[in-house]
Amino acid sequence: MNNLSDKIFSQDHARQLDSQDPLSEMRQEFHIPKQANGDDEIYFCGNSLGLQPKRTQEYLNYELSQWKKLGVKGHFSGDFPWMPYHEFLAEESAKLVGAKTSEVVCMNSLTANLHFMMASFYQPNKLRHKILIEEHAFPSDHYAVESQIRFHGFAPKESMLLAKPRAGEETLRTEDILALIEQQGDEIALIMLPGVQYYTGQVLDMKSITAAGHAKGCRVGFDLAHAAGNIPMALHDWDVDFAAWCSYKYLNSGPGSVAGCFIHERHHKAELYLNNELPRFAGWWGHDKESRFRMENNFLPIETAESWQLSNPPILSLAAIRASLDTVKQAGGIEILRQKSIKLTRYLRELLNQELGNDITILTPEDIHASGAQLSIAVDLHGLDSKTVFDRIEAAGVTCDFRHPNVIRVAPVPLYNSFEDCFKFTSILKKALGVNL
């Protein structure tokens, strides 16, 4: 190894990078799980479940106290009354996805939101009935799309159009997606792709895909489960029809927490629903706020994304989301986090390529415009599979995750991970692979 390589792969160098990191103190805002010996875990699993912000307990305790002291009056009293609670999340949620505050709402769960969005935006007919998704879509998305196609009386074999990587490749090429839209767009009713592909960590070109879809008369939506809190977006300016995301990955709102949804403002006019131009499943929390409690059973939708709400939301979950959004705000917002994320992930990639370049393959694109915080790693050593390696690094104090058939997903999250975490992870991975230190 040359001197430069020795310097990069050293704990002192990693610590120096941390000392120069303006966000290094944000780690103190989170509870870091401990190993059996009392040391911090190397927690690289924020792409599956983010860590708990320390302020979360305070926010939850406040709402529990309000419930204890006020009972039903808590809907109208206190600093954060429950009746409009979801509104307290709109501004920061909108900043994360590049939207207007009127275009976002926290409600339901991710797959439920995708179903509700498809109830509005997938209106197939004999000529235009296909839904374009990716071949390796997250299973829940695949199931949701298939069931929607069946619900409308079509056959998934005929109506589910799959975007596939080229032979021998792991990631999708933008030009191939655009070509598929151009070729079959007249038959595509809906394009529903991920913002960030869960398995490879690839960031898709949402702007170009949306423009191509609209040019062919298609509706376009995105699953942002792995994009929200990970990469900056501009959903409004990109003219995306809808999007949905969970809040418990990079947004750290707790297991199973309430999801988020975006609907472009051009779809908000009440007349679109009343004239059945844009159908939806309705509930009373989507009804006009001024007349909601008149109980007149004459649905008048709010002219914002809120009109897709069904029921009053779980306040304790929204309180956890408010804590996570306030933590992101404290860090300076998604653009600042992205700057660190690029540096952090690039450093980890450099370490892995330098120390283990002949023993592993990183599936995630190297282009920073096509990758976020996640690196997806496959083991190339003969006689050693990725699951065995995963078990070894987990036993050594690393928390990441394994996805069949052979990928270890690691996500250095800029809010709480450090450059030293990257160094330690690489050292542990080398041992797990039997590579000499």
Asked whether residue 6 carries a pLDDT value surpassing 80, the answer given is no
Which pairs from 401-407 meet CB under 8 Å and 24+ separation? 401/45, 401/47, 401/48, 403/198, 403/199, 403/376, 406/378, 406/379, 407/199, 407/200, 407/363, 407/376, 407/377, 407/378
Cα 103 from Cα 228, distance rounded (Å): 15
Whether residue 361 sits in one domain with residue 223: no
Residue 54 lies in a domain: no
Distance CA 142, CA 116 (A): 15
CA gap 342, 345 in Å, rounded: 5
Instruction: Report the distance separating Cα 389 and Cα 432, nearest Å.
Output: 6
- Identify whether residues 323 and 337 lie together within a single domain: no
Claim to verify: residue 86 and residue 217 sit in the same structural domain: yes
Check if the beta carbon of residue 248 is closer than 8 Å to that of residue 254. yes
pTM of the model: 0.95
Compute the average pLDDT of residues 364-392: 92
pLDDT digits (tens, 9 = 90+) for 321-350: 999 999 999 999 999 999 999 999 999 999
Domain that holds residue 10: 3-30+333-433
Round the average pLDDT of the chain to a whole number and report it: 95
Residue 36 falls inside a structural domain? no
> Does residue 33 have a cis peptide bond before it, meaning omega lies within 30 degrees of 0?
no
| Claim to verify: residue 148 and residue 72 sit in the same structural domain | yes
Question: In this structure, are residues 248 and 50 in contact, taking their beta carbons and an 8 Å threshold?
Answer: yes
- CATH number of residue 390's parent domain: 3.90.1150.10
> In the numeric block, which tokens belong to residue 326?
């306030």
Give the pLDDT of residue 436. Answer: 61
Number of domains in the chain: 2
pLDDT digits (tens, 9 = 90+) for 13-64: 999 999 999 999 999 999 999 999 999 999 999 999 999 999 999 999 999 9
Q: Which residue, 304, 348, 317, is CA-closest to 251?
A: 317
Could you tell me if 19 and 70 lie in one domain? Answer: no
Residue 255 and residue 358 share a domain: no
Beta strand residue intervals within 80-166, DSSP E: 104-106, 130-134, 160-163
Residue 41 falls within a domain, yes or no? no
Q: Give percent of the chain with pLDDT exceeding 70.
A: 98
In angstroms, the CA 265 to CA 115 distance is 19
* DSSP SS3 for 371: strand
Contact 243, 213 (CB under 8 A): no
pLDDT in tens, 248-276: 999 999 999 999 999 999 999 999 999 99
Asked if 200 and 169 touch (Cβ cutoff 8 Å), the reply is no
Residue 381 has pLDDT above 80, yes or no: no
Report the alpha-carbon distance of residue 422 to residue 414 in Å, rounded: 12
208-252 residue pLDDT tens = 999 999 999 999 999 999 999 999 999 999 999 999 999 999 999
5 falls in which pLDDT band (50, 70, 90)?
Answer: low
Enter the tokens of residue 17: 């990078």
Q: Is residue 248 one of the residues assigned to a domain?
A: yes
Q: What is the pLDDT of residue 7?
A: 65
Q: What distance lies between CA 199 and its chain's CA centroid?
A: 13
The average pLDDT across 368-395 equals: 92
Q: What is the pLDDT of residue 435?
A: 74
Q: Do 254 and 155 share a structural domain?
A: yes
pLDDT digits (tens, 9 = 90+) for 145-175: 999 999 999 999 999 999 999 999 999 999 9
* Residue 285 dihedral angles phi and psi, to the nearest 5°: -80, -10
CATH number of the domain at 96, please.
3.40.640.10
Q: What is the structure's pLDDT at 8?
A: 72
Q: Do the Cβ atoms of 234 and 96 come closer than 8 Å? A: no
Give yes or no: residues 206 and 355 share one domain: no
Residues 293 and 427 both lie in one domain? no
In a domain, 35, yes or no: no
pLDDT of 98: 98
Task: Judge if 230 and 107 occupy the same domain.
Answer: yes
Q: Which of 256, 234, 254, 252 is nearest to 243 (CA)?
A: 234
Domain boundary among 328, 354, 380: 328
**Model confidence band, residue 1 (pLDDT cutoffs 50, 70, 90):** very low
Calpha distance 173→137 (Å, rounded): 15
In a domain, 40, yes or no: no
**284 and 337 assigned to the same domain:** no
DSSP state of 411: B
Domain boundary among 328, 362, 381: 328
Q: Which of 296, 328, 360 is the last residue of a domain?
A: 328
Q: What is the pLDDT of residue 385?
A: 86
Report yes or no on 201 lying in a domain: yes
The reply to whether 53 falls in a domain is no
Q: Is residue 384's pLDDT more than 90?
A: no
111 shares its domain with 252: yes
